[in-house]
Amino acid sequence: MTTQNRGTALITGATSGIGAVYANRLARRGYDLIIVARNRHRLDLLARRLTDETGRSVEVLAANLNSRGDLSRVEDTLKSDSSITMLVNSAGMCALASLLDSDANKMEEMISLNITALTRLTYAVAPGFVARGTGSIINISSVAGIAPELLNGVYGGSKAYVLSFSLSLQHELAPKGIRIQAVLPGPISTEPSDVGGMTARHLPPGIVMTAEDLVDAALTGLDQSELVTIPALADKDEWDRYEATRRGISTQLSRTEPVAPYSVKH
């Protein structure tokens, strides 16, 4: 427990898994909380427990982020509450089924939560952070964002968006004093792991991390000002080389004419 007040962290998907661990850890670091999830009863239980254990103020905001009205209420809170110093975009859906075995309506729902809601909440909070010259945005991506062959392609695509969006935010907002972090978990033993017909217990135990270990590692990465944190990657230099290669290629993607073998002589 700490008496230091670091402002308020708004956390989505806060009643289970990664979001719930973030709520616990950030309260103990000195943040007041606004916890967002669909289940009001579970939010109330978590709020009372965290307040009793840490003494921090915990506000409950029951919202389904796939409902435009509910999402707007969370956006309004992010725009109007100047005590907010951190946004943790933890809410998300996972899918493991292949394209041909997936339901298109469920895929659209996943896109809405993993991409649209995360984007709108970030847009809601960023102007206030910039005006105050401080703030942190943590986006939960996935290793599927850089390895889309692993799981459902829509899920991997949605998490690739989260990573790409975070890289763009870093480029634009870091000079204005805003910290951006994308966290890329592998398989995590949390409730969302049950989505798609597979649970953590069906996976090799050597590749499944607990949500507690994941969040502790992610916060260590945040303390070290990492833009991208991959807690399971043993050699961080591997990511640095990957990113350097990507940035190098990005300088060679625009020319006045196609290069060989794409050029056609008329």
Q: Which residues are catalytic?
A: 155
Cβ atoms of 190 and 17 within 8 Å: the answer is yes
Pinpoint the alpha helices (H) of 35-96.
40-54, 68-80
Cβ atoms of 56 and 32 within 8 Å: the answer is yes
Q: Residue 135, Cβ neighbours under 10 Å: how many?
A: 22
The continuous run of DSSP H or E covering 129 comes out as helix 118-132
> CA of 260: how far to CAs of 238, 246, 263, in Å?
31, 21, 5
At residue 26, what is the residue type?
A: L
